[in-house]
Amino acid sequence: MQAKAWIRDMMNGQMPFKEKAIVRHRLRPDWGAGRVLVRTEEYLQIDFTAGGLKKLKTSIADEHLEAAAADEVKALKPQKVKDVAKKVVTPKTKMV
């Protein structure tokens, strides 16, 4: 059933947003950018930076959502932890 809805959306020129996608709500720009946490046939659960956690009906959500700008996507992506240079630890005193 979900595949049929996806095909219908593609035919209508709408691309459904998958989980982990970074989106904005066209009618509520004050919510900021948000990450899609859950997507089912019935609803999307999105965590917006300023609007908080929202649950939107899938049937209308894709009409109101758009991809977030590149700078917003970059800001919401988790920081990569840099590899810490490995140091060789040498004992200063000898054990007897």
Query: Is 84 a domain residue?
Result: no
What pLDDT was estimated at residue 7? 46
User: Do residues 5 and 44 make contact, with C-beta atoms less than 8 angstroms apart?
Assistant: no
Instruction: Determine the structural domain holding residue 65 and report its residue range.
Output: 2-76
Asked whether residue 21 is assigned to any structural domain, the reply reads yes
pTM for this prediction: 0.65
**CATH code of the domain covering residue 62:** 2.30.30
pLDDT attached to residue 1:
43
Instruction: Report if residue 56 sits inside a domain.
Output: yes
- Per the structure, how many domains does the chain have? 1
Examine residue 27 and state whether it is found in any structural domain, yes or no: yes
Burial environment of residue 51 by CB neighbours within 10 A (0 to 12, 13 to 18, 19 or more): middle
Mean pLDDT by 10 residues, the chain (96 residues): 47 67 93 93 93 92 88 77 56 62
Is the residue at 96 inside a domain?
Answer: no
Predicted pLDDT of residue 72: 85
